[in-house]
Structure 1
Amino acid sequence: MAKSESSDIEVGKMYFRYADHFPGRISSMCKLSSVVKAIEEKLTKRQLSMFKKDIFGHFLECRSFPFSGVILHNLLLRQVAHEEDSLEDQLWFQISEHLIRLSIVEWCLVTRLSFGVDTNKKNDEMEQRLRNTYFGGVHSKLNVDEFDAVLKELKCEEMDDMDALKIALFYFADRVLNARKNHCQINFDWLDQVDDIQYFRRRP
């Protein structure tokens, strides 16, 4: 049987045998409900309408984010080795006698997020207009808590509607899609990238 390129595990076999399964605890840093609430409270009616029509707008209808660390842990224990020559990012799992695939395309169909070729802009190609205009040109690192404090001081009703939308899109991406603990740093590269909103919308 063929071997997986990433390990010595045979393709079609689980990385962890049933006899090697172990207990674990997985937690979620995603703060979907609080982020949705903050966006709804911060944006004006016109800006919120714009957000609802944009790439993350459908998430505003989600009032809860059920999460089970036990289910996720046990699912990961059942991950199966697969051929690595596929052009499509994918994971395989064995549930009872069934092999189940989750590819990036299927994930994006479920979440309605975009997917495709990642065309990362280089840092020297990105402008820092939003950072300079609304965040005092800050170049030092800010953690999640510190950024939240700065965000609260922004007056969206006095801002250009498109700029308010861009900052809200960045806030959602940083806090929900890239969720992490409050002491972790803000990814200001994303704030720079969202200023080119068509590029940001196409990013996988």
Structure 2
Amino acid sequence: MALMVPTKDHFPAQYSVCGELEDAVAIVRSKLSVENMANFRKMPFGHFMDVRKLQFSGQLIHILMLHLVREQPEDEMWFMINGTLHKFTFEDFCRITSLPTSKSYPNFSNVRSSSETIHKKYLGGGTVKCTFAHFRNMFMTAEEDVPGSDLHKLASLYFVEHVLLAKDRGDDGWPTGEI
């Protein structure tokens, strides 16, 4: 079985990324009302509200990705390590992260764009670049002017950017980059 990255092209890497689950959970909890929290928990990242601690190892992920097999099923990741094939399934991921294996979420590919999207209403649409600092400030200061139905969606976007799309820290200690 061929690797995605041939052995001759493997390279060492050093990571300095941050993804802070505990901080994001605390901030989301502080911003959402009981009703909004109930709606947030119904979204794909809602189960993370119950995860106590999540340790990330960039070096381990890098090594695994270097050993990723080229041909594999769509819902599995296969790694060739020391001549042995190791399979990582969706069920394995759910077991490790304490996420449910059976809950399906709607397919958004058929949703038509409207003038009422989060992107258009709060992030300037397609006309301006939105940095994480801009979005973080907008989310942290959102109060009564943001309808409750939008606040849990903004919280989900904040969670994705703060935890799952971890980035290098800036001078102020917060992740940097564009959304």
TM-score, with structure 2 as normaliser = 0.69
SS of alignment partner, residue 38 of structure 2: helix
- 2:18 matched to 1:32? no
SS of alignment partner, residue 120 of structure 1: helix
Tell me which residue corresponds to 1:193: none
SS of alignment partner, residue 71 of structure 1: helix
Distance of 1:44 and 1:119 partners within structure 2: 26
Residue pair 1:26, 1:72 contacting (<8 A) in 2 also: no
Residue pair 2:123, 2:135 contacting (<8 A) in 1 also: no
Tell me which residue corresponds to 2:79: 93
SS of alignment partner, residue 36 of structure 1: helix
Distance of 2:123 and 2:79 partners within structure 1: 47
Q: Please provide the CA RMSD for this pair.
A: 3.5
- Give the superposition deviation at 1:149: 1.3
Q: 2:133 aligns with which of 145, 154, 162?
A: 145
Alpha carbons of structure 1 residues 131 and 24: separation in structure 2 relative to 1, 3 Å = closer
Structure with bigger gyration radius: 1
Number of residue equivalences: 167
Distance of 2:177 and 2:71 partners within structure 1: 33
- 2:150 matched to 1:163? yes
TM-score, with structure 1 as normaliser = 0.62
Distance of 1:100 and 1:179 partners within structure 2: 26
- Give the superposition deviation at 1:126: 3.2
Give % identity. 26
Q: 1:70 aligns with which of 43, 59, 71?
A: 59
Q: Which runs of 5+ in 2 are unaligned?
A: 169-174
Q: Which runs of 5+ in 1 are unaligned?
A: 1-11, 187-204
Q: How does 1:1-204 map to 2 (within 5 A)?
A: 12-14=1-3, 15-17=5-7, 21-82=10-71, 88=74, 90-103=76-89, 105-106=90-91, 109-110=94-95, 111=97, 112=99, 120=109, 125-128=113-116, 130=118, 135=122, 139-155=127-143, 159-181=146-168, 182-186=175-179
Alpha carbons of structure 1 residues 143 and 125: separation in structure 2 relative to 1, 3 Å = same
SS of alignment partner, residue 44 of structure 2: coil
Amino acid at match of 1:183: T
